[in-house]
Structure 1
């Protein structure tokens, strides 16, 4: 293996480690968002409201769609589903 290839592999390895840290931060933020969302749901239901607010959900989806297109919509929809607590429980 040449010095250039060795350096490139080290660079890729370091960048992947950075990606792993970013992914961990994203998971922590999703967990925090889920906590906040569930508290909002609890308060809304306790006051006689519905668990979800579709107008609010559309306001959440829109910036993701604007930033990332169709994939952004999918990200936002998945995030909302995770935070609604309607999917499978976390492992």
Structure 2
């Protein structure tokens, strides 16, 4: 393999790592926001979750990413209701 091709592969690997870091940050931010929202709803005497919204989210992820999108959406919903599943420190 040429040095140019190896450099291109390294750059692509670096881009994937950057995207992974961005995704991790977004998942943490989403989880924090959902937790805050659920707490505010609880203080206001409202239901903490809305099944209709959750169903819409599942449908969006399934439409965009197929069956694995549903799996991803379910994991995000679980993290939103159980932020303790995420470690406190950032890696």
- Compute the TM-score of the two structures, normalised by the length of structure 2: 0.84
Number of aligned residue pairs: give it: 88
Show CA shifts across 1:1-27 (max 9, x none): x5x2x3222211110101111111111
Computed over aligned residues only, the root mean square deviation of the Cα atoms, in angstroms, reads: 1.7
Unaligned runs of 5+ in 1: none
Match of 1:28 in 2: 25
Match among 5, 8, 12 for residue 9 of structure 2: 12
- Pair member with larger Rg: 1
Unaligned runs of 5+ in 2: none
- Compute the TM-score of the two structures, normalised by the length of structure 1: 0.84
